[in-house]
Amino acid sequence: MEPTNIELYDLVLKDAPFIIAGYGVLWAALVVYISLVLRRILRLEREVKAVEDSVARRTGDAVS
Amino acid sequence: MRQLKVALVLLIVGGLMTTAAFFMAFYTAEVQSFGTVTLSQQLDTAYPLTEAGAGGFTYGRPWFSQKIFYFHVPVALASFLVLIIAAYFAVRMLLTKRKEFDTKSRIAMETTLVYVMLTMLTGVLWTRASWGVWWDWEPRLTTYFILTLMVIAYFVLRNSIEDEERRAVYGAVFAIIAAINAPISFFITRIIPSNHPVVFKSGFATSNLIPFLTAMFGMLMLGFAIYVIRMSEERLRERLDAAKTALEG
């Protein structure tokens, strides 16, 4: 290979893994964290609905 | 639920902006140089030739690891900002003793923790690529490391206190102390000689500024979205506790 190209490719390739890892880690961490929080919210919403329905049923029974 | 919808919109816009910044960083941003490299032949390249002598042709050495800058600096600046917001809520909590501000301060500290960890991870990778070492005890890295430990310690402190009121007061005081570290860490490279680059001091090409600002606003939107989503979760939790109490009573 052309020595000039070897020098240039060497410069790029030495840094590339760190740049890729930098962006990868950042994106993966954000996506995983936000997904976990959103999943927790969906589960909580289901739980809240179930408990509030039970409260409403009990209140309804007490009234009737 | 309206807040959650706003957060999801912010999440999408912030995600799109940071993704756009990523592409701009590689496609349109100028490659900065770091020292020089002498090559045997003249290159047909965008890198300006600085010298043509007996030893060959000297070019500005392309500094590719600088590309991490477009995410590392926005996430670091956002971490400082969110930490200051956490301290603001902590001050309001101490003044009013309202639980609501304690929750807001805690959630802002949690967002800070996410951003601080991301800053450390991207920073360590940049340090390894640029300086050849994973860590260096220079002023910026040291002060930021202390800040990271303080943010982690905030949660350790909170978890170690049973009494809710005491936990809120101690947490608020600690959040304020941690936030004092933010301006120290930001300005330290401008006060003490440091290996760490000082952003904006040496000028900035427009092609570099646009992706940086895009990533900066995108990162702030993502931070705000994370905060709002976590607050929605806390409110749902409170609603669940209230409903359970009503069911038991």
Q: What is the CATH number of the domain that holds B174?
A: 1.20.120
Q: Find the domain containing B50 and state its range.
A: 31-62
Domain shared by B69 and B58, yes or no: no
Domain shared by B84 and B194, yes or no: yes
- The CA-atom distances, in angstroms, between A45 and each of A48, A50, B2, B230 are 5, 9, 14, 13
Domain shared by B172 and B114, yes or no: yes
Q: What is the pLDDT of residue B72?
A: 92
Q: Which of B61, B72, B128 sits opposite A11 (nearest CB)?
A: B61
State the Cα angle at B194 between B28 and B120, rounded to 5°: 65
Q: What is the pLDDT of residue A33?
A: 93
Each residue's pLDDT tens digit, A18-62: 888 988 888 999 999 999 999 999 999 999 999 988 888 887 776
Taking any CB pair shorter than 8 Å as contact, residues of chain A touching chain B are 2-4, 7-8, 11-12, 14-16, 18-19, 21-23, 25-26, 29-30, 33-34, 37-38, 40-41, 44-45, 47-48, 51-52, 54-55, 58
Domain shared by B197 and B81, yes or no: yes
Q: Which of B62, B114, B126 sits opposite A11 (nearest CB)?
A: B62
Domain shared by B7 and B51, yes or no: no
Domain shared by B52 and B107, yes or no: no
Task: Tell me which residue has tokens 């009494």.
Answer: B163
The three state secondary structure string of B1-62 is CHHHHHHHHHHHHHHHHHHHHHHHHHHCCCCCEEEEEEECCCCCCCCCEEEEECCEEEEEEE
Helix, strand, coil % in chain A, rounded to nearest 5:
95, 0, 5
Each residue's pLDDT tens digit, B67-94: 888 889 999 999 999 999 999 999 999 9
State the Cα angle at B18 between B12 and B19, rounded to 5°: 85
- Residue B48's Cβ-side half-sphere holds a number of Cα atoms within 13 Å equal to 6
Break chain A into its structural domains and give their ranges. 25-64
Evaluate whether ipTM surpasses 0.90: no
- Residue B115's Cβ-side half-sphere holds a number of Cα atoms within 13 Å equal to 29
